[in-house]
Amino acid sequence: MPSTLNRSDILPGTPLQVAPLPESLDASPRAQISLLGATPAQLTHVLVSGSSSGLHSGSLRSYSQGDGASFVPAKPFTAGEIVTVHVTVAGRAVSYRFTVAHTDPIKYVAPAGAAATLKPSEVQRYHSRPELQPPALAVTTHASPATAPGYIMSTPYSGPGQDGPLIFDNSGQVVWFDPMPHGAEATNLQAQQLGGRPVLTWWQGYIPEQGFGEGVESIADSSYHLSHVYAGNGYWADLHDFRITAQGTALLTVFDPLRCDLSSAGGSRSAAVTDGVLQEVDLATGLVRREWHSIDHVAMSDSYASAHSASYEWPFDYFHINSIDLHADGSILISARNTSTLYELDGHSGQIVERIGGKHSTVKLGHGAETAYQHDATLQPNGQISVFDNGAVPKVHPQSRGVLLAVNPQSGTDTLIAQFTHPQPLSSGSQGNIQGLPGGDYFVGWGPVSYFSEFSPSGQLLFDVHMPSPDQSYRGYRFPWVGTPTEAPAIAAATTSATSQAGASGALTTVYASWNGATQVASWRVLAGASSHVLAAVAAAPRGGFETAIPTPGAQAYVAVQALDASGAVLGTSRTIKG
């Protein structure tokens, strides 16, 4: 640990917020030098030198927001060396230094082969899209007019069916599904705004046994065109949180295992600790604007986890950052599972200004306001803080819950305003979230127990759905979404013999139509004909879920389908196939 905790990242005598943090011991060998808070023209004469690697050439690259730049070295630094940075800011020469950490890469473990399906009823299958096999969804409390509008967004994994981002409606019908390749997982699907337009975002990558992510952040527009956001400074993006800001940046989490002498924390001298990292990335350039490390600010002794059995293979996960919430005044609220604490960070200095819960809370916790191993701390429009309180592993509370907390700065107290519990008591050892909805309801994703619930402000259960065990979803959300895929609708057909009520026999062609991700389809029209080039409308049916089966009299030589909106306008036409 550094000799002094909770230092400011503002370089004395300048307006600059810098990263790596001055005098820090945890810099990445591939760190760039982030200089935020001055125009690029005010930043001159940048000189970077390592005590072992010597002088570093590189380039000074401006942020797209015009408020700073990063010096990107041409080669990595050397682990263990001290790096000195000299820079002239608006004519004033200043300098600082930091130490490069010894990283502790986690060993990759190849995933096991695909598990056999437990029961056919636990997986959904489609004639028109046989490659899609999402888990089945069981609605136990059906939506009512009081339920908020929007679709449910989830990321099932580790259970029956395929893993991947999944959107479904109140009846449990799939709207959009994007299965991950074998060995990859997805988490944290939600709708956000990018440049004033709605997008879907999620994390995808590899989840080691140590319980964090090594991957990338994915962004899909309304047509499902995909792009990726990468963590900077040589890191992988972690699975826990990703927030797009109105300034064209994104906040994301990183888990960085480092070699560390843990004897002062009750562990081995030859072991590792997992540093919890928050990054702000410029989406236009990929440059790192800001970087915050838990090791610079929070003592290992604050953790409820133990360093006793930590090793290089199993680092001491003392902090475990799992949510980020940027506020209008620039401050940032983060949640750390293994200290059972919420931290408010000053938006300029990066220093912790308030702690809610844990061993050193700066506010007095009222009855029922204490959380344990919590996730997803978010400031609501009315100033209250919503938190998913796990309270489990080790078990602290009889069941997990979503809570609303009110912090009074004048009295220095934290009061429980409301709590939301499942009528079938659920205990979530990890994961989970609570989302405030525009109409005042709250949506709760229960993490490893794979339930999704909507509650009224008074705590009444308005909607409930679950996946088959052992499926789980890191979070669950409800968002409005309009999807307009550019791919054509999918089609399949099967012809069987049929007998009419009058006893006459004949053929019946059943046409199956679907369009993955299309949200504006109201009905389907079947086109058929003796030639693939001359087709006419022969049948129609309202949309009946992800896939609609449309009975079509007669043995049809060729068929196609058209997707129609509520006004009857054609949205898309499938390829033509043999009947």
Sketch the domain layout of the chain as residue ranges: 17-99, 139-479, 490-578
Spatial contact of 376 and 323, defined as CB atoms under 8 Å apart: yes
Q: Environment class of residue 346 by beta-carbon count within 10 Å: exposed (0-12), middle (13-18) or buried (19+)?
A: middle
With cut-offs at 50, 70 and 90, classify the pLDDT of residue 468.
very high
pLDDT given at position 120? 82
pLDDT given at position 87? 97
b/e map 50-59, b = 16+ CB within 10 Å: beebeebeee
Mean pLDDT value of segment 469-490: 97
> For a pLDDT cut of 90, what percent of the chain falls above it?
93
- With a cut of 80, say whether residue 540 has pLDDT above it: yes
> For a pLDDT cut of 70, what percent of the chain falls above it?
98
Could you report the per-residue pLDDT of 87-142, keeping only the tens digit for each?
A: 999 999 999 999 999 999 999 998 876 555 568 889 999 999 999 999 999 999 99
Going by their DSSP bridges, the two strands 364-365 and 413-420 should be labelled as parallel
- With a cut of 70, say whether residue 202 has pLDDT above it: yes
Spatial contact of 114 and 182, defined as CB atoms under 8 Å apart: yes
Residues 139-479: name the CATH superfamily.
Kelch-type beta propeller (2.120.10.80)
Region of residue 430 (left: phi > 0; alpha: psi -120 to 50; beta: else) = beta
pLDDT given at position 111? 81
- With a cut of 90, say whether residue 169 has pLDDT above it: yes
- With a cut of 80, say whether residue 500 has pLDDT above it: no
Count the alpha carbons within 13 Å of 62 in the hemisphere toward its beta carbon.
11
Could you report the per-residue pLDDT of 308-334, keeping only the tens digit for each?
A: 999 999 999 999 999 999 999 999 999
Class of domain 490-578: mainly beta
With cut-offs at 50, 70 and 90, classify the pLDDT of residue 293.
very high
Q: Is the peptide bond before 20 cis (omega within 30 degrees of 0)?
A: yes
- With a cut of 90, say whether residue 507 has pLDDT above it: no
Comparison of pLDDT for 284 and 113, the residue scoring more: 284
Record the tokens describing residue 377, joined without a space: 């701390």
Going by their DSSP bridges, the two strands 321-326 and 271-282 should be labelled as unpaired
Do 17-99 and 490-578 have matching folds? yes
Class of domain 17-99: mainly beta
Residues 6+ apart with CB under 8 A from 314: 210
Q: What is the pTM of this model?
A: 0.96
* CA–CA distances in Å: residue 201 to residues 120, 153, 271: 30, 10, 35
Q: Is the peptide bond before 470 cis (omega within 30 degrees of 0)?
A: yes
Residues 6+ apart with CB under 8 A from 499: 505, 506
Mean pLDDT value of segment 242-258: 98
Record the tokens describing residue 435, joined without a space: 């989302």
Helices (H) then strands (E): counts for the chain: 0, 44
Spatial contact of 38 and 222, defined as CB atoms under 8 Å apart: no
- With a cut of 90, say whether residue 420 has pLDDT above it: yes
Query: How many Å apart are CA 432 and CA 135, to the nearest integer?
Result: 19
Could you report the per-residue pLDDT of 48-64, keeping only the tens digit for each?
A: 999 999 999 999 999 99
- Give the closest residue to 57 by CA, choosing from 44, 71, 78: 71
pLDDT given at position 498? 66
What amino acid occupies position 424?
Q
SS3 at position 337: helix
Report the greatest alpha carbon distance in the chain: 97
Q: What average pLDDT does the chain have?
A: 96
